[in-house]
Structure 1
Amino acid sequence: MTSKLTPEDQQKVDSYLSAPQHQVERKPFRPLLMLAVVLLIVLGLGLLSRMLGMLVD
């Protein structure tokens, strides 16, 4: 894929991206952890709604 930027613009982009604030180390993405958190939230809200439903009856 070729860049549509002029060499000057590409140099500006490269210098912007190489700035220290754009070089933050991130933890690897863990989809199973995210799935577990979402499931816990859904289960917790479901249990809460059942308990509230029992109180209203």
Structure 2
Amino acid sequence: MPSRLTPEDQQKVDQYLNLPQHQVDRKPFRPWRLLAMVLVVVVALGLLSRLLSRLVL
């Protein structure tokens, strides 16, 4: 897909994106870690809700 920008504007965009603050090293995405964290939170909230229901009843 051709760019809609003029060559001068495209050069400005490229310079902006190549600035150091836009070059962030990211760790690889770990879906299993995310799944484990979600499961831990769901189980913890479930246990908390059971504890609170026993205290109220």
TM-score normalised by structure 2 residue count:
0.93
Q: Percent identity?
A: 68
Aligned-pair Cα RMSD in Å: 0.7
Task: Report how many aligned residue pairs link the two structures.
Answer: 57
Residue 5 of structure 2: SS of its match in structure 1? coil
| Cα deviation code 1:1-57 (max 9, x no counterpart) | 211111111111100110001111110011111111011101100100000001001
Q: Distance in 1 between matches of 2:24 and 2:13?
A: 17
Q: Distance in 2 between matches of 1:36 and 1:6?
A: 47
TM-score normalised by structure 1 residue count:
0.93
Q: Runs in 1 of length 4+ with deviation above 3 angstroms?
A: none
Residue 44 of structure 1: SS of its match in structure 2? helix
- Residues 25-36 of structure 1: matches in 2 within 5 Å? 25-36=25-36
